[in-house]
Amino acid sequence: MAEYYLAVDIGASSGRHILGHVEDGKIVLEEVYRFENGMEKKDGHLCWNVPHLFHEIKEGLKACKAAGKVPKSMGIDTWAVDYVLLDEEDNVLGNTYGYRDGRTKGMDEEVYAIIPEAELYARTGIQKQMFNTIYQLMAVKKQEPENMEKAVQLLMLPDYFHFLLTGNKLSEYTNATSTQLVSPETKQWDYELIERLGYKSSIFRPLHMPGTVVGSFTKEVEDEVGFSCEVVLPATHDTASAVISVPALTKDCLYISSGTWSLMGIENDHAICSEESRKRNFTNEGGYEYRFRYLKNIMGLWMIQSARHEWNDAYSFTELCDMAEEENAFPSRVDVNDDAFLAPESMLQAIRDYCEKKCCAVPETVGQTAAVIYQSLAESYARTVAEIEELTGRHFPAINIVGGGSNAAYLNQLTADKSGRCVYAGPGEATAIGNLAVQMIKDGKFDSLEAVRRCIHDSFGVKKYEPKA
């Protein structure tokens, strides 16, 4: 009988339950459940429906039972930075805000009045993004001080879901680093920084590494889903899980974890916290085995996803790539990292407004708009390659694209052409595979990260795109 492991991979727009097992030396995946997700307007804010998400987690567990494939262990990963505050009775205090909510406006200045931006970067190595937890907590301190006062513990969202399953509260390292409140030296919360900011230091509990056992299901959960299994911390930050599954067999390979966001960077054994690195907006997020993911957050496929919704989801992403390729000569470009594209009421209007403002041709058709997005994204990738090489003094001849965006052939070829690098695309289910990989290493199926990466390369393969002269 196969031994199954379960990755629950929850993204900003959907979640999946993916079972994995090893067969004939290769990892085999099976999606058993999928559900929708998205931020909802509540009290004028963008929030996550946490009870709904936990309901869907349990429904997926029931689907495993119904399929006769009960996992030996499971783990949950999500996006970063969002959290819950729990009171002494483990109730969630206030709303569970989504990272695109606007309540953090001006909170950066509140933070920098206490610790200057340059000092904060030198201390944490994390890039400034207005949705980082450090700014979200300043919004709590300023706008909802009673919730900060009542809080007994802070848990990032996957840690909270693990708690609901097991009754045990463990904080995982990779996701915690995205808060901008963790020291790259100690690999634990920077309590001195937390206290300077006026946050309640007692709510931050010690950090644990991927591979740590959280516990087994509570009796209540076991009775509801029909079985119990071990819950193991994966790299709960979805990008950290995705990077685990990068199948590059050399160290000289850049990666792009391509989804709603594009996370482009390298693996380092130390953090680069220089002032030049800060100015270029690079970040040093925590990775598996205390590796550092030295990378830049790029807007990613969010723009094309949003535009597609405005076109009533009438086109597949493959069709959008094809239409963009037909308009390859359309000249306009946008800065994909401009705040105008973070959460606009209309992405199509935001693109048109940007082009008008920059006095360049305004896209009128679906193909022209898609071409602007894909071309702009590929040019952002190419600039980032040059920056990484400049900041590290190293040369990277190849780019490995993993995640859903690895299926976008047109974008992959554009990336190769504009960067002058070979692009290796795949696997598409990178986050779930990385989640499963940690569980499999913990269970002794593989003896190292290198071994599981070799298996991932052999199991899923990659597609190569060479730059056109």
CA-closest candidate to residue 262, choices 303, 234, 291: 303
Q: Catalytic: 269?
A: no
pLDDT of residue 1: 81
pLDDT of residue 461: 86
Task: Please check whether residue 15 is in contact with residue 34, taking contact to mean a CB–CB distance below 8 angstroms.
Answer: yes
Single out the catalytic residue among 238, 269, 322, 458. 238
The CA-based dihedral angle spanning residues 286, 177, 157, 213, taken in that order and rounded to the nearest 10 degrees: 50
**Residue 346 to residues 101, 307, 319, Cα–Cα distance (Å):** 16, 8, 21
The string of DSSP codes covering 276-287 is HHHHTT-EEEE-
pLDDT of residue 249: 59
Task: Please check whether residue 92 is in contact with residue 50, taking contact to mean a CB–CB distance below 8 angstroms.
Answer: yes
Bond prior to 363 in cis (omega within 30° of 0): no
pTM of this structure: 0.92
Per-10-residue mean pLDDT of the chain, 469 residues long, equals 95 94 97 96 95 98 98 97 98 96 96 98 95 98 97 98 98 98 98 98 98 98 98 97 86 89 93 96 95 93 96 96 96 95 94 95 97 97 96 94 93 97 95 98 96 95 90
pLDDT of residue 469: 67
- State the burial class of residue 148 (Cβ atoms within 10 Å of its Cβ: 0-12, 13-18, 19+): buried
pLDDT of residue 391: 94
